[in-house]
Amino acid sequence: MKTIKQTADVVVAGGGTAGHIAAIQAVRAGVSVSLIEASSMLGGTMTDGGVFMPNHWHSPTQPVVQGIGWELFNHSKQIEGLRVKSMKERYGVDTPGYYSNINVPIYASVAEQAAVEAGVEIHYHEFIGEIVQEGNFWIITSYARGIKRITKCREVIDCSGDADVTRALGLTVDKSPKRQPGTLEYRIEGIDMQQVWEGEVQKIYEKAMEEGELEKGDWAYFGIYPFQWYLQMGGHNSTHIYSCDTSDADGQTKANIEGRARMLRMYQFVRTKIPGAERAVLKTMYNRALSREGYRVVGEHIVTESEFMTAQPYEDAVCNAFNYIDMHNEDNGCDEIFHDSMELLPTVPFRSLIPKGSNRITVAGRILSADRTSLAGIRAQCTCMAMGQAVGAAAALAVRRGTYSRDINVEDIIALTKEHGAVEPNRARKKEYA
Ligand SMILES: Cc1cc2nc3c(=O)[nH]c(=O)nc-3n(C[C@H](O)[C@H](O)[C@H](O)COP(=O)(O)OP(=O)(O)OC[C@H]3O[C@@H](n4cnc5c(N)ncnc54)[C@H](O)[C@@H]3O)c2cc1C
């Protein structure tokens, strides 16, 4: 194994939803950035994992997240030859916000190109194993096939989705014994929906469940939507893996195997039992099963459900977090809790991106410091990207000023992210939450 020693101002752990934006923001602010990503592309859950639906660039009333994520989204749409509709051109929807899909191969390539052009040093197929402190530096050891890399850096940003760096440092994290189910994303194509009658396919599905041909979770939302919905989606984002825990390789392997077994069972059922699906083809399967929640960092502030639902105004808000609470479960599939008004705009305080009692480490994405109910709203992709941009800015400013990211003034973080297109976070409203 080759040992490579190098230095970087900032190391970003994980180039997923939050991490690729953090890296681009930091490097654009003039510091050197090494991005270590365990898989083979940027974007994480939104690309490699096949959840290609970033929520929410805007609410029905205002833009809520823009910045580097929005820039990449627009660039990828331009390559597809699609015009992105402005907020005012889109139709109102019952649920808050608007869904926008990305094209996975294009977005992942556009994001990679932007990172490389900006000067991010990307290391794919590599994972962070150890981290120790040496004076004012971190010494990070990462492993890849044939490579042991030792990187000396000033700031580290944990965007691993499972708090790998925070845990390796022995900082406090939390993991609920009861967690949301995970999912393996795939898509069945070629179902002739004109042949599908909702009542009939519902009965066929229920009989298959009774007879044990299918298992609970193969169709995740049995308690809230008819089975026809699964067919319309071609199974995409429609199954649950109840004991999914991707925080280590054994858990990831187990979830992959269960996810694929569920996928194959459903495909065989659909093709042989559903009228109109005789020629259905299992066309797409994404690389790995995904967790909706795992480890959460215990930070300098823990965002609570009540704060999220009342859009608690934080003095140190660094980005907006517009979304409803989307709590997946085993009982009926999913519980959704909406804000009283679509005018309410929750935010993310900087303190929830700083592990408690730490220096020179920040976090972003679904590992932020929040209770599990509020996390079920904050974890939306646009919010993850906006958090990534904020901590990328904080790390860069800290290196430039020879100080710690935690000591960077929030106004300076906001000013820097705004230079890169970000929306100013809401710091205005408060409402009682029963
Ligand atoms: C099934 C599912 C459906 C969802 N649906 C939606 C939706 O419709 N809309 C929406 O907005 N949000 C949705 N979400 C939520 C959202 O996708 C996630 O919360 C968000 O993508 C998490 O971003 P992240 O950056 O925290 O993690 P990720 O995007 O998962 O990125 C983490 C990255 O870190 C890498 N990594 C992990 N450990 C290491 C290590 N030790 N060293 C190096 N790299 C490492 C991983 O390979 C990965 O690329 C969904 C989530 C799931 C699981």
Domains and CATH numbers, the chain: 2-176+294-419 (3.50.50.60), 186-285 (no CATH)
**Placement of tokens 């996975």 in the chain:** 104
CB–CB of 219/230 below 8 Å? yes
Q: Relative to the CA of 126, which ligand 1 atom is closest?
A: 43
Expressed in angstroms and rounded, the spacing between residue 367 Cα and the centre of ligand 1 is: 10
In 171-216, DSSP assigns E strands to: 173-174, 186-189
Residue 304, exposed/middle/buried by CB under 10 A (0-12, 13-18, 19+)? middle
- End-to-end, the C-alpha distance of the chain in Å comes to 58
Tokens of residue 37, six digits = 């990503």
- Cβ of 384 less than 6 Å from ligand 1: yes
Query: Is 383 a pocket residue for ligand 1 (Cβ < 6 Å)?
Result: no
State if residue 97 touches ligand 1 by the CB under 6 angstroms criterion: no
- Backbone dihedral region for residue 90 (phi beyond 0: left; psi -120 to 50: alpha; all else: beta): beta
The verdict on the CB of residue 38 being under 6 Å from ligand 1 is yes
Q: Is 102 a pocket residue for ligand 1 (Cβ < 6 Å)?
A: no
Cβ of 183 below 6 Å from ligand 1:
yes
297: enclosing H helix or E strand: strand 296-297
> What distance in angstroms lies between residue 181's CA and the mean position of ligand 1's atoms?
14
* Residue with CA at minimum distance from ligand 1 atom 39: 160
Residue nearest to atom 40 of ligand 1 (CA): 127
Q: From the CB of 13, is ligand 1 less than 6 Å away?
A: yes
The pLDDT profile of the chain, 434 residues, written as one tens digit per residue, is 999 999 999 999 999 999 999 999 999 999 999 999 999 999 999 999 999 999 999 888 889 999 999 999 999 999 999 888 777 777 666 555 667 899 999 999 999 999 999 999 999 999 999 999 999 999 999 999 999 999 999 999 999 999 999 999 999 999 999 999 999 999 999 999 999 999 999 999 999 999 999 999 999 999 999 999 999 999 999 999 999 999 999 999 999 999 999 999 999 999 999 999 999 999 999 999 999 999 999 999 999 999 999 999 999 999 999 999 999 999 999 999 998 888 899 999 999 999 999 999 999 999 999 999 999 999 999 999 999 999 999 999 999 999 999 999 999 999 999 999 999 999 865 455 54
Which of 59, 288, 381, 383 to mutate for ligand 1's pocket (most ligand atoms within 8 Å of CB)?
381
Q: How far away, in angstroms, is 180 Cα from ligand 1 center?
A: 14
Question: How distant, in Å, are the alpha carbons of 16, 209, 275, 368, 414 from that of 204?
Answer: 39, 9, 10, 42, 54
Going by C-beta distance under 8 Å and a sequence separation of 6 or more, which residues neighbour residue 5? 149, 150, 151, 152
Q: Is 64 in the pocket of ligand 1 (CB under 6 A)?
A: no
Strand 121-123 and strand 33-36: the pairing is: parallel
Which alpha helices (H) appear in 13-146, and where do they start and end?
Answer: 19-28, 67-79, 104-118
CB 140 within 8 A of CB 156: yes
Q: Is 127 in the pocket of ligand 1 (CB under 6 A)?
A: yes
Distance 16 CA to ligand 1 centre (A): 6
Task: Quickly tell me which residue has 């230095």 as its tokens.
Answer: 7
Ligand 1 pocket, 14 CB below 6 A? yes
Strand locations in 117-192 (E): 121-123, 126-134, 137-144, 147-153, 155-158, 173-174, 186-189
Residue 136 DSSP code? T
User: Which among 45, 291, 293, 295 is the best mutation to test ligand 1's pocket, defined by most ligand atoms within 8 Å of the CB?
Assistant: 45
CA-367 nearest atom, ligand 1: 26
Q: Which of 24, 51, 185 to mutate to test the pocket of ligand 1 (most atoms within 8 A of CB)?
A: 51
